[in-house]
Amino acid sequence: MQVYLPIAELSVNILLLVAMGGGVGFLSGMFGVGGGFLMTPLLIFTGIPPAVAVATEANQIVASSAAGVGAHWRRKAVDFKMGGVLLVGGLIGSSIGIWLFRYLRELGQIDLIISLSYVVFLGAIGGLMLIESLGAMRSKSKGATLGRRPGQHNWVHGLPLKMRFHRSRLYISAIPPLAIGFLVGILASIMGVGGGFIMVPAMIYLLRMPTNVVIGTSLFQILFVTAFVTVLHAVANQTVDMVLAFFLLIGSVVGVQFGVRVGARLRSEQLRALLALLVLFVCIRLALGLVTEPTNPFSLGAVFH
């Protein structure tokens, strides 16, 4: 059963779109990421123009994140104060990101920039996460003590503008969360991602937040930033395909509920290792697409009549 996508200007199988939405929604609930790092490349692989994939995926992330936040809120696993600080940085970063997106699109370079951004960020983050998570699992198997010791600090604790985050049991500067949110906002605008693949590791390793509140708090920030990005893309770039977003939403809202349940049963280091492998797989697939010869190559030349 085919459906025509008016903004993307092509026809796609409805069941494929729903299945993709369900799979990415499942990952969103399990890992605390918006899922855009996987969905946007999948849409590009199916023939959706990258600019449309980025803008529409931001819209799809809104629904899956909202469902995920609701599930984690019922478990009392959301730090709303930390999420609010991350959100302030995210709104500023996404405003700048939309301007960059429009400028690069006018230059005709946005498709290449989107693909290169994915390869660089996914490769770096996925590699670091895999190394750390495998090390954590080896240490745990040997009986070593993991986690942050009481009174242990890093350079973040020496920064000014400190705030107390009761749910996360932290007393740290507001500057790092603002900076993390700012970066994620830019990525949401240009790459069509929620930014959870960067935010979740940063919250765990940089801010030293407890893992049990990281996922819900990450989804809280992703929810509002991607909603803001969707509106800006629709107004400034006219690249949001609502028909495409609708079928992705159907699958994602259902999938995220199952993802939350599965994620609650896995240890934190196992979750990080699985997410790292998934990130690296997508990175390799995109990198191959940049260096391999296209199926239907074309050339430019003069036309004689």
Do the beta carbons of residue 31 and residue 218 sit within 8 Å?
no
Per the model's pLDDT, the better-predicted residue between 92 and 191 turns out to be 92
Kindly report which listed range (49-53, 69-73, 272-276) carries the lowest average pLDDT score: 272-276
Average pLDDT on 84-113 reads 84
pLDDT at 269: 65
Average pLDDT on 69-79 reads 79
Place of tokens 């995920």: 68
Average pLDDT on 25-30 reads 73
Average pLDDT on 238-262 reads 79
- 182: pLDDT confidence band, cut at 50, 70 and 90? very high
Do the beta carbons of residue 26 and residue 258 sit within 8 Å?
yes
For residue 106 the two structure tokens come to 């006018």
3-state helix, strand, coil in the chain (%, to 5): 70, 5, 25
- How many angstroms separate the Cα of 189 from the Cα of each of 168, 239, 241? 28, 12, 16
Do the beta carbons of residue 2 and residue 11 sit within 8 Å?
yes
Give 162's strand partners: 173
Name the most confidently modeled range: 56-60, 93-97, 117-121, 230-234. Answer: 93-97
Q: Say whether pLDDT at 193 is over 70.
A: no
pLDDT at 92: 92
Average pLDDT on 80-98 reads 88
Kindly report, residue by residue over 32-70, the tens digit of the pLDDT: 665 667 777 788 778 888 778 877 777 767 766 776 777
Q: Say whether pLDDT at 209 is over 50.
A: yes
Question: How would you class 182 by CB atoms within 10 Å of its CB: exposed for 0-12, middle for 13-18, buried for 19 or more?
Answer: buried
- Rounded to the nearest integer, the mean pLDDT of the chain is 76
Average pLDDT on 22-40 reads 71
Q: Say whether pLDDT at 290 is over 60.
A: yes
Kindly report, residue by residue over 136-181, the tens digit of the pLDDT: 777 777 665 444 443 455 566 667 778 888 777 888 888 888 998 8
Kindly report which listed range (159-173, 214-228, 237-251, 258-272) carries the lowest average pLDDT score: 258-272
pTM over 0.75: no
Average pLDDT on 280-295 reads 73
